[in-house]
Amino acid sequence: MSKNASVRRAPRMADVAAMAGVSGMTVSRVLRDPTCVTPETLQRIEQAIEATGYVANRVAGSLASRRTNIVGLIVPSLRNSLFVETIQGVSDVLGTSHPLMIADSGYSLAGEEAAIRAFLGQRVCAVVLHNTTHTDRSRVMLREAGIPCVETGNLTRQPIDMVASFSNRKAARAMTAYLIARGHRRIGFASLPTDDNDRAEERRAGYQAALSRARMPVDPALTIEVAAGLAGGAEALTYFLSLTPAVDAVFLSGDVLATGAVLEAKRRRIAIPKRLAIVGTDDSDLQERISPAVTTLRFPRYDIGRRAASMLLTRLDGRPVDPASVDLGFEIVERATA
Amino acid sequence: MSKNASVRRAPRMADVAAMAGVSGMTVSRVLRDPTCVTPETLQRIEQAIEATGYVANRVAGSLASRRTNIVGLIVPSLRNSLFVETIQGVSDVLGTSHPLMIADSGYSLAGEEAAIRAFLGQRVCAVVLHNTTHTDRSRVMLREAGIPCVETGNLTRQPIDMVASFSNRKAARAMTAYLIARGHRRIGFASLPTDDNDRAEERRAGYQAALSRARMPVDPALTIEVAAGLAGGAEALTYFLSLTPAVDAVFLSGDVLATGAVLEAKRRRIAIPKRLAIVGTDDSDLQERISPAVTTLRFPRYDIGRRAASMLLTRLDGRPVDPASVDLGFEIVERATA
DNA sequence: TGTCCGCGAGTTAGCGCTAACTTGACGAAA
DNA sequence: TTTCGTCAAGTTAGCGCTAACTCGCGGACA
C-alpha cells in the first residue's frame, strides 16, 4: 500500500479533472454552470466528483475570485425570539448558496464593532445589522469595505446603506393614540433599557409625541425602564399600580413585558381592562392565547428578514435596489386587554 | 491624482509591512503573537495597521494554513427558542475568535446533509449538530473531513464523534414515573412528530418504558403526535379529554405544548390537577409564571451549548476530550399542575 | 472557397496569505 | 578566540482555486 493511499487528503479539483480527463478549469466552470460543456463532458465530471467525494474548496475559490458568498448577520442577542424571527427570514431566502455567519453584539455598540471587524476579516459579501446606531468606526469600516448592508431594527433615516424595517416611533405613537382615543388619560410607559438601544428610545419618543399631540402632560414618573422577560413586565405593573393618582392604562414596549404584566395583574386580581388597560408589542401566539388576550402591536419580523435578504441578493447580483429604505409597517391587534 | 489613489483597494499585509519597514512575514507573526518581536517593531506595525485601516484577510490566511476557525452549527429550526438557547451557549464560549456559521435543516435529514456539504465547502474547522440521526452520506462526509463534531440534541450511544446532551429517554421515563408515583393510572402522551426526530422518538420510548416497568398497559390510543406551538398543546388536550375511559394525567413532550394545554384547560374550566394533571418539558419563565404553574422537565440547554463549544475548542487545541460523551442531566421541576 | 464567428476547452498567472527554512547578529560557554 | 545557541526577522514556495486570455474546430455566409 503506497503512502498516498494510506494518508488520504481531501480530493482537489485537479484530481477530479484528471479522473474525468479534462482540465481543472473545465471542472471549475461546470460547478458554476453545468450547461456550459457538452453533456458527455458533464457526465464524466459528475461521475468523477461522485467517485472522489469531492467537495469544492470555497476558501481557495474565494481567494481567487476575491469574493465570498458568506452573509454576516449581527443581532443584539440570540436568546431573544424576536430577533430569531428575522434571522429565519434571512436564512430562508439565502438558502444554501449563501452561508450565514451570525454574531451577537450583546446589546453593545462595541460588541457590534468587534463582530463587524471579524466579519470583514472573513470577507463577507454583505451584512445584516439589527441595530441602527453604530460606532463611527463601524460605519467607516462598512463604508470602506463597500459591501451591501441592510439594517432591520428600525426605519432609520440615516441608514449606512439600506434599511428594511418599520418605524418604532410611529408604531408607539399609534398605540398610545389608540389608548387616548379609548378614553385613557393617565398612561404609563415601560420600555427596555434605552442605552445603545435606538428602538426603545424611538418608542419612548413616539409615546411622548402622542401625548403631546393630544395636549396631555408628559409626566416623567410615568416612564420607566425594566429588564426584559416576564419578570420585567411584572415589575413594571407593580410600579404603575403604586402611583397616585392611579394610571388607567399601561403600554409595555418590548419583549414579553405585556404578558408578564397581564399575568401579574391576574395574580393580583386587577380587573383588565376595566381598572387598568394593558397593551404590548411583538405579537405572538402567547399574547393571543393568554386570557385575557393581549392587545398588541404586530411587527412583520419574518418578512423583514426575507426582504432584507432579497435586497442583498439583488445588489450582489449587480442590480440597483430602489427604494433603499423599505417600510414594512406595523399593525395594532385589538384584543381584550384595552 | 494617480489612478492608484482614486481606486483604493483594501490594504494588504504587504502595504502594512512596507509602511512599517518590515517584511510581510513579520506582520503575519505579530497578528498571531504580538510578543514575538521587539517592542519597537511591534509599535511600528501597530501604527501602520492603524494608519491603513488594515483588516487581515482570513480567506487568504485560511488557504495558506489549510484551516479556518469557522465553526458550523446546524439546528432543526431557528424559530424555536429551545435551540437558540444552545446556540447562545456555543456563541458565548467561541467569542469572536471563532466565527459561527449557522444553518437550519428544516427538520429534515436531507436538509442537514445539504448544510453539512455547504459547511465542508467553507472548510469549517468543527461542527455542532442538534440532530443525532443523520443520513449515511452525512456521517461519511463528516468522518472523511476529520473535523471535530459535537451532537447536542440527545445523549446518543453512537455519536459521530462527541456528544454533550441529556438522555431524552431517561427524562421522559422519569417524568412518567413521577406521574405514576403520584397515583395516576391512565396517562396520555403527546409529542411532536417523530419522523426524522430522534428526540421525540426517544421520549416516547421513555414514556412506554415507565409504563411497562410499572406493569401498566401501553394503550396506543393514549399516544399522539401534534404540531409545535400553543395550538398543538390545545389540540392534544382536546383529544385526551374526548377519551373514554378518561385519562387522569397528560404528559406533553416538547416545545410549549404543556402551556398550550394548560391555557386550553383553563378556558374549558377543567380543574388542574384535580381532574387532570398536566406536565411538560422545556421549562421556561412562562411555564413558571402561568397560573397554575406548570410542572416540567428542565434541560440545561445553555450549558449544553457552552460545553459543546469548549469540547470543540479543546480538540482544536490538539488536546484529547475525555469523556467524549457528556451527560448534562435533567431535572423535574415540581409545580402546581401535577 | 475563403472568412469569420461562436463555442467548447486549455493555459497562464496570480489571489494574499503562512509553513518551513534561512540568515545574521549577539552573547555565553569552552 | 572559537563555537554555538538563541532570537528577531527575512526568503521561498506554495495553498487550491478562478479571471482572462488563447486555441482549434465546425458551420454559416458571402
Same domain, A176 and A143: no
Give domain status of residue A334, yes or no.
no
Give domain status of residue B338, yes or no.
no
Question: CB of A87 within 8 A of CB of A75?
Answer: yes
Contacts of A291 in chain B (CB under 8 A): 263, 266-267
Any strand D atom closer than 7 Å to B145 CB = no
Phi first, then psi, for residue B151 (nearest 5°) are -100, 140
Same domain, B30 and B77: no
Best interface-test mutation with B: which of A55, A63, A73 has the largest number of B CBs within 10 A? A55
What the block records as the C-alpha cell of A179 is 389608548
Average pLDDT over residues A95-102: 96
Same domain, A292 and A174: yes
CB pairs under 8 A between A and B: 142
List the 291-310 stretch of B: residues with Cβ below 8 A of A. Answer: 291
**Full domain range(s) for residue A247:** 168-298
Signed CA dihedral, A242, A248, A252, A258: sign only: positive
Distance of CA A13 to the CA centre of its chain: 38
**Interaxial angle between packed helices A257-267 and A230-241, expressed in degrees from 0 to 180 and rounded to the nearest 10:** 60
Q: Is the pLDDT of residue B2 over 50?
A: no
Q: Which of A252, A226, A255 shows the shortest CA–CA distance to A79?
A: A255
Average pLDDT over residues A285-289: 93
List the 80-139 stretch of A: residues with Cβ below 8 A of B. Answer: 81, 84-85, 87-88, 91, 96, 99-104, 114-115, 117-123
Least confident of A5-19, B140-154, B205-219, B243-257: A5-19
The pLDDT value recorded for residue A9 is 83
Interface touch A102/B104, C-beta < 8 Å = no
CA B299 to CA B332: how far, in whole Å?
9
Convert the pLDDT of each residue in B87-109 to its tens digit: 999 999 999 999 999 999 999 99
Question: CB of B202 within 8 A of CB of B169?
Answer: yes
Give domain status of residue A61, yes or no.
no
Contact status of B31 with chain A (Cβ, < 8 Å): no
Same domain, A310 and A161: yes
Same domain, B192 and B107: no
Compute how many other C-beta atoms are within 10 angstroms of the C-beta atom of residue A77: 17
CA B127 to CA B150: how far, in whole Å?
7
Same domain, B264 and B313: no
Average pLDDT over residues A124-152: 97
Give domain status of residue A152, yes or no.
yes
| Cβ contacts of B145-153, under 8 Å, gap ≥ 24 | B145/A10, B145/B120, B148/B311, B148/B312, B148/B315, B148/B316, B148/B321, B150/B126, B150/B308, B150/B311, B150/B312, B152/B86, B152/B128, B152/B304, B152/B305, B152/B308, B153/B129, B153/B198, B153/B199
Phi first, then psi, for residue A94 (nearest 5°) are -70, -35
**Nearest residue, CA→C1' of D18:** A64
Any strand C atom closer than 7 Å to B36 CB = no
Any strand C atom closer than 7 Å to B139 CB = no
Do β-strands A331-333 and A295-298 pair in parallel, antiparallel, or remain unpaired?
Answer: antiparallel
Q: Is the pLDDT of residue B1 over 80?
A: no
CA A303 to CA A86: how far, in whole Å?
7
Give domain status of residue B180, yes or no.
yes
Q: Which of B77, B100, B285 is closest, CB to CB, to A229?
A: B285
Q: Which CATH number characterizes residue B239's domain?
A: 3.40.50.2300
Same domain, A224 and A276: yes
Convert the pLDDT of each residue in B233-291 to its tens digit: 999 999 999 999 999 999 999 989 999 999 999 999 999 999 999 999 999 999 999 99
Q: Is the pLDDT of residue A199 over 60?
A: yes
Contact status of A60 with chain B (Cβ, < 8 Å): yes
Helix, strand, coil share of chain A (percent; to 5): 45, 15, 40
The pLDDT value recorded for residue A88 is 97
Q: What is the DSSP letter of B150?
A: E
CA A122 to CA B68: how far, in whole Å?
10
Any strand D atom closer than 7 Å to B36 CB = yes
Same domain, A145 and A257: no
Contacts of A87 in chain B (CB under 8 A): 78, 102
Question: CB of A153 within 8 A of CB of A200?
Answer: no
Å from the B188 CA to the D19 C1': 64
Convert the pLDDT of each residue in B23-80 to its tens digit: 999 999 999 999 989 999 999 999 999 999 999 999 999 999 999 999 999 999 998 8
Pick out residues 195-254 of chain B having their CB under 7 A from any atom of nucleic acid strand C.
none
Q: Is the pLDDT of residue B117 over 60?
A: yes
Convert the pLDDT of each residue in B168-203 to its tens digit: 999 999 999 999 999 999 999 999 999 989 999 999
The pLDDT value recorded for residue A4 is 39
CA B23 to CA B14: how far, in whole Å?
7
The pLDDT value recorded for residue A8 is 73
Confidence of residue B311 (pLDDT cuts 50, 70, 90): very high
Give domain status of residue A63, yes or no.
no
Q: Is the pLDDT of residue B3 over 70?
A: no
Å from the B300 CA to the C17 C1': 41
Q: How many independent structural domains does chain B possess?
A: 3
Helix (H, G, I), strand (E, B) or coil at A127: strand
Interface touch A230/B285, C-beta < 8 Å = yes
Q: Is the pLDDT of residue A210 over 60?
A: yes
Do β-strands A100-104 and A295-298 pair in parallel, antiparallel, or remain unpaired?
Answer: unpaired
Any strand D atom closer than 7 Å to A63 CB = yes
Q: Which CATH number characterizes residue B32's domain?
A: 1.10.260.40
Q: Find cell 440615516 and name the residue.
A: A158
Mean pLDDT of chain A: 95
Contacts of residue A106, defined as CB under 8 A and 6 or more positions apart, other chains included, come to: A76, A77
Q: What is the DSSP letter of A11?
A: P
Same domain, B44 and B110: no
Q: Which residue type, as a one-letter code, is found at position B37? A: V
Average pLDDT over residues A250-265: 96
Give domain status of residue A335, yes or no.
no
Å from the B61 CA to the C15 C1': 11
Phi first, then psi, for residue A57 (nearest 5°) are -90, 100
Confidence of residue B9 (pLDDT cuts 50, 70, 90): confident
Convert the pLDDT of each residue in A12-39 to its tens digit: 999 999 999 999 999 999 999 999 899 9
Give domain status of residue A62, yes or no.
no
- The string over A260-284, giving b where at least 16 C-beta atoms fall within 10 Å of a residue's C-beta and e elsewhere, is bbbbbbeeeebebbeebbbbbbbbb
The pLDDT value recorded for residue B7 is 58
The pLDDT value recorded for residue A38 is 92
Signed CA dihedral, B303, B307, B308, B313: sign only: positive
Q: Is the pLDDT of residue B6 over 90?
A: no
Any strand D atom closer than 7 Å to A57 CB = yes
Same domain, B182 and B284: yes
What the block records as the C-alpha cell of B99 is 466565527
Confidence of residue A1 (pLDDT cuts 50, 70, 90): very low
Confidence of residue A151 (pLDDT cuts 50, 70, 90): very high
Phi first, then psi, for residue A68 (nearest 5°) are -105, 175
CA A319 to CA A74: how far, in whole Å?
24
Report DSSP letters for A65-120, one per residue. Answer: HT---PEEEEES-SS-HHHHHHHHHHHHHHTTTS-EEEEE-TT-HHHHHHHHHHHH
CA B298 to CA B228: how far, in whole Å?
18
Same domain, B210 and B193: yes
**Nearest residue, CA→C1' of C19:** B65
CA A14 to CA A37: how far, in whole Å?
17
Convert the pLDDT of each residue in A72-86 to its tens digit: 999 999 988 899 999
Distance of CA A282 to the CA centre of its chain: 13
Same domain, B184 and B277: yes
